[in-house]
Structures are given as structure tokens and as C-alpha cells.
């Protein structure tokens, strides 16, 4: 299904500092103006109609009911699309849709309307702009959750700032003219302080000003107006799986907007910082998504050395400013990460580095990070302790034999072990405890922390260092192994899938294979939907026949097909349904949809996983397209072939029909015009010409009809028990006029059983074969029909004494329109034998021709004798008579 390319509608945003500044009123006014100009305007959503009742009554702007019959709540996209207005008024762009709606956010609804070419007027508060989200939170101490991405706001064709003074706004609040549904009275008072309002107004003004500035720049650039151009800036933000990274992203975004610069968000995956718990993975995913939503180019790299990689990237991409975060919360981590920041600064070489001091603002809806140790963590530490204990006991035995240095070395074992299997914490713990145990149990004085020889302190230090370095190495190694393993799994999975689907030769098999492989990889049920001829979605392959597929799921699938974007579970669109839908996109169209139902519905996918799933989807789309192309090629081949056939048919028919018609018309017109001139004998001769020609045409028409029936698959066999002798008799009778000049010999066995065939079709076969034999054999020659019964077949031969058929022609005589070269003029369409072949094969038999080199041909066909003849119940009288 190809997406129709429509011109995108125009988006106008009425931007205000806060509720109550009169955005909605301004929007309605503007809408009404348009209406007066004769434009078809419709209100799709209005949030607080109370204060505007009078206005609405006066202006009479039509509105569209929503799905539930209640007015002005969620945006009824499909209602609007059906109504096809020119301009739609949508209040409150940042609205968060109720669960169960098509999209999570209203701006996504609006986007869909824009895609349909509908113009939109909408309202927005500055606090709901994504990149300003944390600033607003700092100013107002109130974090909003309904946010609109900057990218979307920037796509607006026009932003109109609606501004009133803070005093006026506060007065409106006091008068109760402003209604904010989600706020209590206290909250309203707290929020609408003059300071807050002015700060928000400033933000709104600045936001609009920046935009105007940018537009001016673009205008000047596009009109080649000379000006002081700022050097083109490029910003790079570095993120990690930390909730604090969102601040880094937003800051980078604001800088990019201010500098009118491109910006890149990079995540460097290292073996050390490999996110291995779910919280980290989810946080990272949401950070990267935020960056994408804010319009950044997101780059994902893998390297050992974060700082170095960032600097390389900065040079490669001509970055002028780098934004990194430096968390303040954890001193140890800080020390560790600090080294990255320091290294970046060291290597920056002229690139400005902005360091954002970390400050985790608790988001209302953000998940709490697990700070305390979990049960399994305790077990790891306990395990480490036990290991050290065991080594200590072994060392007790070894002590008399070995040097202390060997004893110390043995303590590295638990460090290595815990580093490899349990991670950083337990391994450092192991080194510390190891040193302690070594000191207490082996370094004199034994069983005391004190050390006689102070040189041992140096040994402890070195041991500790060696332990930490080896453990670091071990962890890095095991993480690298983990990454390699994951990548390996992914490559292997992709490779396995591609190998499997290459081996399949039909679309259904390919789809079922894809479903099986994806299901195995992602632990879920998988199915593939494809549009059928009527553009209805049909399940074409599935791992489980019982997939819940209700109207909601269908709506989501249709949406994916129409928009070519992922939707469903754990996405922003249709997230309240059970399944996840991925478009199967080829270069130009969406060939189908891959549906996944995870066995564990709560899990969200890591970026690694979703990449893999996408790769699967792409591979599947490729395979489907390959299959479709192959089918098309086949079709084209078939068409050329049938084209050739048609040409042959037309040539043949026009000749074969016109020749007898010519003699009929010629003879008849002679008789009509000058009938009295002809003698009785002449008249008779003319009339028999007419008769013969008409008979010939009749046979031709019969053959053409038979052929058409065979070709169209309309030939239905009427199976009945028949006597072959009778069929031969009927065929001979039909051809008796032509057989007069031939010697017909019939050789039938005595015990001929009844056979189950279609009487008239088999008669047709015999007529065609006999007709053929008559046409190609000399007068008075012998034509022989013989029947032999074999174990599983009955075999019928028709033998003539004609010129025979050359080897090359023997197979082709059964082809349509194939005519043998013949010295005498032999009439015919070249259809007769191919009809015979069609009929005999429909009976499960076969037909072939043998030739006796210049001495006739023998056509043979067989019919299966797979059913024993039916029983005949004779009456007693009958039996007696038969016995007698």
C-alpha cells in the first residue's frame, strides 16, 4: 500500500505564558475570522468552554462531537478526517490523552491531521515545551508531565504569542475567570505568583523571539543579504544511562536553539559501563528517545575509552561545543567519571566544553533507582567472603611449605573470580578482605592487625593495586565477552533468519519461518499481517492461531500500515493494547506488519533488542518484496506467453472462421442474386458447399468453447460409469460421413469393464483423435482403434497410415495452435489435440504419440482403472437365465 502524498496542513500555535492569558479566545477569534472569509472551520477540541459559551453561541463555529458522544474531550481524529474541514481548532496541544486513545499525546493526533493536509490552530503554554521543561520546573517548582517536543513546535508555520501583564492575569484568576482543571485553589495561588508569571512570560517571549530571529536569519540567508554571520556552531552532548542525562540533553538543546546550531547526542557504550540492569537500560532508552524527540542526531558508539571516543567524534563532526554532565551525588563515582570529563577537557583542543553539574530532580513519573543492595547482591558478598575463607584455610595448610608471597598471590584468586562473575563491588570487597585476612592470619604477628615489618604495608598496597587492576581487567573482559556474545547472538539470529528464508520458495513458508524465528528470539507470539486484494488486513503467518485480535488491535495495525511507523505496546502510539506492531517497509511501500505479543507483557525492550527486531522486520520486508517480484516476473512471463497465444489464436480463428464464411456467403449470394441461372445440379453443389462450411465452423466453435472451458478451469467432469464400446460407437457415429472413405478397424477385448469417466468429454477426445487421423491419412487407408486392458490402466490406441510425425514435433503436437506442416491443405485450429490432452489429464490419464516413420502415427491414451466396477444386483429370475 503506497502512502498517498498529500501536502501537509499549516500549523499555527497560539503560545502563552500560562493558563488564562487568552490563548483559546484568540484562537477562536482567529478561527472565526477565517470562517468569515468562507473557509470551512471546525472546532475539534475545546477544554474550558464555560467562559466562552457566549462567545461560541454568537460566533456559531461548528464543532465535532467526539467518539463517546460527549463534546470537547479527546480529539476525534477520524471524525475530523471524515468531515474534511479546511481548518481545525484544537485547544491545548500538550494534552495527555486518556489511556485507550489512539496516541498518547494530542500533538500526535494533530500531526496526523496535518499529514492529511488539514490546517490547524492550536494553543500551548510555554511550560509544556519539552526543552524548557526543567527550567520551568525550577522556576515554578511544578513539573509538568504533558510535554510537546520542540521539533514539533518548530514545524509550526506560525507561532502567535498571546501575552498579558502579570497583574491582569492575577486579576483574572481572582475573578475566577480562569479555570484550570488539574489545580486545586492553593496550587493555583501558588503557581500564579507575579514572579512565576513574569518568568514564564519572559520564557515565552524569548522562545518566540528566538524563533523570529531564526526566521529573520533564514530570510536573510535565502535572500543573500550580507550580515554578520556567527560561525556555524555544532554541539555535542554526551549521555549515559543516568536520569541526570536528560538535563544534559535539554541544556544542549537550548544552546543549540540559541546558537541556531546543529546538535548531536552521543552515547558511548563501553565494556565497563555496559548497562546490565533493566533500570539502566530503560533509562538509557528514554534518554535517547528524549534526544530524538528534541531533534538531535543520535549517535551510538562502542569503545573502551569514552573520553577519547568523544574527542574523535567531536573532530570528525566539526563539533564546536561539547556538553557533558558531572554528577555530584556519588563521590566515588564522581572520582571515576571525573576522569572522563577531565580527559575530554584535556583532549578538547579548542572545543568548548560545558560541564553541567549534576542535580537529579526527582521526576514524578520516573522510576526510583535501586540504591540499596538487593538480596542477590548480599549473596555475592557472602560468596566472596566464603571464598576468602576457603583460601585462608588452604593457605593455613600451605603456610609451612610456601613463602608468604605465594600465600598473598593465592588471595588474588577470589578477587579474579568475583570480578569475573559478580562484578566490581564484590571484587573490590574481595581485595580488601584478602589483604585483611593476609595481614591477620599470615603476616607476623599472626592474629593481629599490627604489622612487625613495616615493609609489609607496601606489600599490602601493591597487592591491593594488583587486585584492583586485575579485577578491572577481568570485569572489562567479561563485559566485552558479554557484548560480543550479544552481538554474536544478534548476527547469528539475523544470519539464521536470512538463511532460512532464502531456502523457502513460497511466501507463506517465508512468513511462517519469520514468525517462528522472531518468536524464538523474543519470547512471544508473532504474526504477520498483510493487506489482501481489498486492502483488508489478513493474518498471513502466525506462531499461534489464537491471537487476540480485537478492534483496537486492528486499529493499531491499520495505523501502522498507513503511517509506516511502529506502534502498540511500549510505544507512544496505541500503548494500551497487547501487541507491538512493526511496519514491514520496503523502499517504496509497506508490504505488511509484524505483530509481536511478548510473553512477559511488562518488559520494555532494550535498544539492542528493538534494533534487532527492526532488523528482522527489514529482512522480512526484503524477503516479501523478493517473493512479490518473483511472482510479478512469473506473471509477466505468463502474460507474454498468453499474449503470444492470443496472437496465434486471433490469426488462427480469423482464418478458420472467415474461410468457411467466405464460401457460405459466396454460395448463398450467388443463389440469391442469380438463382434462376443455375441448373438444379449446380444449386445442389453450391448448397452442399454451404452445408460443409457451416459444419466446419460448427466444429471450430465447439473446439474453441472446449478450449475456453479447459483454460478457465470451468470444465467440470461429470463422472459416471460408462461402457467404452458405447463411447467409441457414439464417436464413430458422429464422424460417419468422414469415415466413409477410410477402413475402420476396431479391436476390443471381450471382458471390457465399465470405466468411470465423463462420457461426453471422452467422446470428444475420440472424435478429435479420429478426426485427426482422417485428416492426415490418405483415402481408403486403414484407421484402427484398439483397446487393451492393463493392470492399472486401460489403454486406447488410434493408429493411422498417414505420413507420421517427426521426432521433434511429437511433444509439440499437443501444444495449443501447433499445426504440422502438411503437403495437402489440412484445415484446423491446432486446438483439437491440446483439448484431448487437457481432458485426458483431467481424468488422471496420459496421452502421447508414436510414429512409424512415414508409415502412420499411433496416438495412445490411458485411463486409470483405480476403482473396481460397480456391483450389479441381478434379480433371481435373471440369475437363472444367465446361468442357463
Partner 1 sequence: MGESKNARVLIIDDEVQIRKMLKVALTAHGYEITEAETGQEGLNQGALFHPDLVILDIGLPDLDGFEVINRLREWSQVPIIILSVQDQETDKIKALDAGADDYVTKPFSMGELLARMRVALRHIAKTEDEPVLIFGGLTIDLAHRQVMVNDQEVKLTPTEYDILKQLALHAGRVLTHRQLLRTIWGIDYQDESHYLRVYIGQLRRKLEPDPTRPKYIITEPGVGYRLMT
Q: Would you tell me which residues interact with partner 1 (CB under 8 A)?
A: 694, 698, 702, 705, 718, 720-723, 725-726, 728-730, 732-733, 746, 748, 754, 759-760, 763, 869-870, 872, 875, 877-878, 881-882
CA 570 to CA 602: how far, in whole Å?
9
| Residue pair 71/50 in contact by the 8 Å Cβ criterion | no
CA neighbor of 767 nearest in space, from 743, 736, 794: 736
Angle of helix 424-437 relative to helix 375-398, nearest 10 degrees?
30
Other C-beta atoms closer than 10 Å to the C-beta of 3 total: 13
For the beta sheet containing 567-568, the strands, ordered from the edge strand earlier in sequence to the opposite edge, are: 537-542, 524-531, 590-598, 580-585, 567-568
Structural Rg of the chain based on CA atoms: 44
Number of H helices, E strands in the chain: 28, 22
| Residue pair 28/52 in contact by the 8 Å Cβ criterion | yes
| Residue pair 245/290 in contact by the 8 Å Cβ criterion | no
Cis before 445? omega within 30: yes
**CA end-to-end span of the chain:** 79
**What phi, psi does 96 have (nearest 5°)?**
-95, 120
| Residue pair 798/850 in contact by the 8 Å Cβ criterion | no
CA 324 to CA 237: how far, in whole Å?
6
| Residue pair 435/391 in contact by the 8 Å Cβ criterion | no
Other C-beta atoms closer than 10 Å to the C-beta of 710 total: 20
Question: Dihedral (C-alpha) 65, 66, 69, 74: value to the nearest 10 degrees?
Answer: -130
| Bridge-based pairing state of the strands 793-799 and 755-757 | unpaired
- Angle of CA points 210, 216, 220, to nearest 5°: 145
Residue with cell 481524529: 77
CA 297 to CA 194: how far, in whole Å?
38
Residue with cell 466413409: 740
| Residue pair 325/337 in contact by the 8 Å Cβ criterion | no
| Bridge-based pairing state of the strands 580-585 and 590-598 | antiparallel
Residue 745 CB burial class (10 angstroms; 0-12, 13-18, ≥19): exposed
Helix/strand/coil (H/E/C) assignment for every residue in 281-336: HHHHHHHHHHHHHCCCEEEEEECCCHHHHHHHHHHHCCCCEEEEEECCCCHHHHHH
Provide the 8-state DSSP code for 292: H
CA 248 to CA 355: how far, in whole Å?
9
Buried b (16+ CB within 10 A) or exposed e, 779-815: eeeebbbbbeeeeebbebbbbbbbbbbeeebeeebbe
Provide the 8-state DSSP code for 515: H
Name residues whose C-beta falls within 8 Å of residue 393's C-beta, 6 or more positions apart in sequence. Answer: none
Is the alpha carbon torsion for 210, 211, 216, 220 positive or negative? positive
CA neighbor of 42 nearest in space, from 125, 114, 121, 117: 121
Is the alpha carbon torsion for 378, 380, 381, 382 positive or negative? positive
- Total number of residues shown for the chain: 884
Cell digits for 684?
445442389
Name residues whose C-beta falls within 8 Å of residue 760's C-beta, 6 or more positions apart in sequence. Answer: 718
CA 549 to CA 600: how far, in whole Å?
18
| Bridge-based pairing state of the strands 537-542 and 524-531 | antiparallel
Cell digits for 801?
497410415
Amino acid at each position: 500500500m503506497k502512502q498517498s502524498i498529500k501536502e501537509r496542513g499549516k500549523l499555527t500555535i497560539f503560545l502563552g505564558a500560562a493558563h488564562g492569558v487568552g490563548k483559546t479566545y484568540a484562537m477562536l477569534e482567529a478561527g472565526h475570522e477565517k470562517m468569515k472569509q468562507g473557509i470551512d472551520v471546525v472546532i475539534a477540541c475545546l477544554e474550558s468552554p464555560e467562559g466562552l459559551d457566549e462567545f461560541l453561541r454568537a460566533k456559531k463555529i461548528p464543532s465535532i462531537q467526539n467518539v463517546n458522544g460527549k463534546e470537547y474531550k479527546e480529539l476525534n481524529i477520524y471524525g475530523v478526517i471524515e468531515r474534511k474541514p479546511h481548518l481545525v481548532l484544537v485547544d491545548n496541544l500538550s494534552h495527555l490523552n486518556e489511556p485507550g486513545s489512539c496516541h498518547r499525546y494530542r500533538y500526535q493526533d494533530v500531526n496526523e491531521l496535518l499529514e492529511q493536509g488539514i490546517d490547524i490552530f492550536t494553543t500551548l503554554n510555554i511550560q509544556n515545551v519539552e526543552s524548557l521543561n526543567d527550567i520551568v520546573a525550577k522556576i515554578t517548582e511544578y513539573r509538568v508531565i504533558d510535554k510537546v517536543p520542540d521539533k514539533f513546535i518548530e514545524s509550526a508555520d506560525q507561532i502567535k504569542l498571546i501575552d498579558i501583564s502579570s497583574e491582569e492575569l492575577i486579576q483574572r484568576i481572582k475573578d475566577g475567570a480562569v479555570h484550570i482543571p488539574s489545580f486545586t485553589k492553593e496550587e493555583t495561588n501558588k503557581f500564579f505568583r507575579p514572579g512565576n508569571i513574569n518568568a514564564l512570560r519572559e520564557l515565552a517571549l524569548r522562545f518566540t523571539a528566538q524563533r523570529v530571529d531564526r526566521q529573520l536569519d533564514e530570510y536573510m540567508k535565502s535572500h543573500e543579504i550580507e550580515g554578520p554571520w556567527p560561525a556555524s556552531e555544532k554541539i555535542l552532548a554526551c549521555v549515559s544511562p543516568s536520569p541526570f542525562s536528560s538535563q544534559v540533553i535539554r541544556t544542549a538543546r537550548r544552546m543549540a536553539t540559541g546558537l541556531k546550531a546543529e546538535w548531536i547526542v552521543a552515547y558511548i557504550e563501553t565494556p565497563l559501563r555496559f548497562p546490565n540492569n533493566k533500570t539502566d537500560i530503560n533509562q538509557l532508552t528514554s534518554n535517547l528517545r528524549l534526544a530524538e524527540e528534541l531533534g538531535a542526531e543520535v549517535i551510538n558508539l562502542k569503545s573502551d575509552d569514552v573520553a577519547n571516543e568523544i574527542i574523535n567524534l567531536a573532530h570528525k563532526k566539526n563539533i564546536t561545543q561539547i556538553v557533558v554532565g558531572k554528577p555530584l551525588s556519588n563521590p566515588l563515582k564522581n572520582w571515576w567519571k571525573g576522569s572522563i570529563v577531565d580527559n575530554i577537557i584535556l583532549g578538547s583542543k579548542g572545543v568548548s566544553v560545558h560541564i553541567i553539574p549534576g542535580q537529579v530532580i526527582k521526576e514524578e513519573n520516573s522510576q526510583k533507582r535501586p540504591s540499596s543492595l538487593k538480596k542477590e547482591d548480599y549473596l555475592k558478598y557472602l560468596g566472596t567472603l566464603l571464598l576468602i575463607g576457603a583460601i585462608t584455610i588452604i593457605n593455613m595448610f600451605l603456610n609451612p611449605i610456601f613463602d608468604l608471597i605465594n600465600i598473598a598471590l593465592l588471595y588474588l584468586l577470589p578477587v579474579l573470580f568475583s570480578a569475573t562473575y559478580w562484578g566490581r563491588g564484590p571484587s573490590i570487597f574481595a581485595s580488601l578482605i584478602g589483604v585483611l585476612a593476609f595481614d591477620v592470619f599470615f603476616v607476623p604477628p599472626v592474629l593481629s592487625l599490627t604489622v612487625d615489618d613495616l615493609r609489609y604495608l607496601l606489600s599490602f598496597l601493591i597487592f591491593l593495586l594488583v587486585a584492583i587492576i586485575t579485577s578491572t581487567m577481568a570485569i572489562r573482559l567479561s563485559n566485552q565477552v558479554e557484548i560480543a556474545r550479544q552481538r554474536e547472538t544478534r548476527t547469528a539470529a539475523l544470519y539464521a533468519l536470512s538463511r532460512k528464508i532464502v531456502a523457502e520458495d513460497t511466501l507463506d513458508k517465508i512468513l511462517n519461518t519469520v514468525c517462528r524465528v522472531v518468536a524464538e528470539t523474543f519470547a512471544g507470539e508473532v504474526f504477520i499481517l498483510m493487506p489482501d486484494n481489498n486492502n483488508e488486513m489478513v493474518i498471513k503467518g502466525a506462531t499461534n492461531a489464537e491471537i487476540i485480535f480485537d478492534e483496537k488491535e486492528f486499529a493499531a495495525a491499520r495505523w501502522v500500515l498507513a503511517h509506516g511507523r511502529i506502534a502498540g505496546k511500549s510505544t507512544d502510539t496505541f500503548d494500551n493494547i497487547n501487541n507491538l506492531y512493526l511496519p514491514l517497509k520496503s523502499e517504496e511501500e509497506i508490504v505488511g506488519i509484524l505483530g509481536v505479543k511478548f510473553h512477559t507483557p511488562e518488559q520494555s525492550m532494550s535498544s539492542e533488542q528493538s534494533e534487532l527486531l527492526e532488523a528482522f522486520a527489514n529482512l522480512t520486508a526484503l524477503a516479501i518484496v523478493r517473493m512479490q517480484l518473483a511472482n510479478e516476473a512469473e506473471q509477466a512471463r505468463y502474460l507474454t506467453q498468453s499474449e503470444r497465444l492470443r496472437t496465434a489464436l486471433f490469426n488462427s480463428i480469423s482464418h478458420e472462421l472467415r474461410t468457411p464464411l467466405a464460401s457460405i456467403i459466396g454460395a448463398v449470394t450467388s443463389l440469391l442474386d442469380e438463382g434462376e441461372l443455375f441448373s438444379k445440379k449446380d444449386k445442389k453443389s453450391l448448397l452442399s458447399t454451404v452445408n460443409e462450411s457451416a459444419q466446419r465452423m460448427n466444429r471450430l466453435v465447439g473446439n474453441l468453447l472446449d478450449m475456453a472451458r479447459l483454460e478457465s478451469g470451468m470444465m467440470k467432469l461429470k463422472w459416471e460409469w460408462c461402457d467404452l464400446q458405447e463411447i467409441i460407437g457414439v464417436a464413430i457415429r458422429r464422424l460417419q460421413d468422414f469415415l466413409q472413405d477410410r477402413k475402420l478397424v476396431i479391436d476390443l477385448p471381450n471382458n471390457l469393464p465399465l470405466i468411470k469417466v465423463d462420457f461426453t468429454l471422452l467422446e470428444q477426445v475420440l472424435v478429435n483423435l479420429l478426426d485427426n487421423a482422417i485428416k492426415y491419412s490418405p483415402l481408403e487407408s486403414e484407421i484402427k482403434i484398439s483397446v487393451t486392458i492393463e493392470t492399472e490402466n486401460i489403454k486406447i490406441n488410434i493408429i493411422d497410415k498417414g505420413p507420421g510425425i517427426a521426432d521433434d514435433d511429437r511433444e509439440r503436437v499437443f501444444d495449443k495452435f501447433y499445426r504440422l506442416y502438411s503437403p495437402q491443405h489440412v484445415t484446423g485450429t491446432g486446438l483439437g489435440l491440446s483439448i484431448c490432452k487437457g481432458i485426458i489429464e483431467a481424468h488422471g490419464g496420459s496421452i502421447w504419440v508414436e510414429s512409424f516413420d512415414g508409415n502412420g502415427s499411433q496416438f495412445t491414451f490411458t485411463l486409470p482403472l483405480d476403482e473396481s466396477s460397480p456391483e450389479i444386483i441381478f434379480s433371481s429370475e435373471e440369475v437363472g437365465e444367465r446361468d442357463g
